[in-house]
Amino acid sequence: MRFRTERGVRVTDRCDGKVALVTGSSRGLGKAIAQQLAREGATVAITARTMDPDPRYDGSLGQTRDEIVAAGGRAVAVQADLSNSAERERLFAEVVAEVGAPDILVNNAAVTFLRPLDGFPEKRVRLMLEMHLLGPLQLSQLAIPAMRSRGRGWILNVTSVGGDLPAGPPFSEFDASAGFGIYGTAKAALNRLTLSLAAELYDDGIAVNAAAPSDPVATPGAGTLDLAKTDTEDVSLITETAMVLCSGDPAVLTGRIAHTQPFLRETGWLR
């Protein structure tokens, strides 16, 4: 493995020569993962709904792309509404036309509403399942043929510890009142999808994994939902977890639902 130094940061070339598609990359974890993939040598295709700066949002695709390029990386930005199947197909076709079929797919885009299940609107349930489950499935289906023909590929789904089953009874006050029922259900389904894809694609040399911060990271989305105003976990933990899972040997490192802290202790990166 080769190392280089950029602005005082030691960086590997784990993704050198690869194309990576990262969804939901205008801000938050998606932006951080896209930037790290670019530092690791990948050509990064980024996508989200907001291309240009908007006072209602913190960050945009254009800003993420420009920051990557300014740091010496390679990036293209394609605006898309990933809640729509036709938009997902258009996005993928444009990425292939601009930089080629991705070797790495990071499904990070999400939308989250929190409220008790007895009053949860069906329209919002459907939107969350579209973003957290059906979108990642469709983009994976679009990416698989080229990965299969190359005999290699890496799919990473960004999940959450909210997908773990709550302990009880008795149930904690958090589980009973936080309104995480649909969010947790969607992430639990994404975890199951991850394991099923890993099993089905194992003989094709395609690794399929999921990664979740062990503790909250203060992304703009988390702040909007009052989940994390300050970091309890540094974003470098999720970016390093993503890099390991997006560059490891698919014959060994696949079918993992990796929580950052125990996973990075396992790899020796964290003590």
Determine contact, residues 51/62, Cβ cutoff 8 Å: yes
State how far the Cα of 157 lies from the Cα of 70, in Å rounded to an integer.
27
State how far the Cα of 131 lies from the Cα of 108, in Å rounded to an integer.
9
- For the chain, strand residue ranges (E) read 3-6, 9-12, 19-23, 43-48, 74-79, 104-107, 153-158, 206-212, 257-259
Q: What string of DSSP letters covers 44-92?
A: EEEEES--S--TTSS--HHHHHHHHHHTT-EEEEEE--TTSHHHHHHHH
Task: Tell me which of 183, 190, 217, 237 is the catalytic residue.
Answer: 183
Q: Whose structure tokens read 């929580």? A: 259
Q: Give the chain's length.
A: 271
Q: 56-75 b/e with 16+ CB inside 10 Å = b?
A: eebbbbbbbbebbeeeebeb
Instruction: Decide: helix, strand or coil at residue 232.
Output: coil
Instruction: Decide: helix, strand or coil at residue 230.
Output: coil
183 is catalytic: yes
Question: Position 124: which residue type?
Answer: R
* Of the candidates 57, 53, 108, 99, the residue with the CA atom closest to the CA atom of residue 78: 99
Omega of the bond prior to 169 within 30 degrees of 0, cis? yes
Exposure of 126 in the CB half-sphere (CA atoms within 13 A): 4
User: Active-site positions?
Assistant: 183
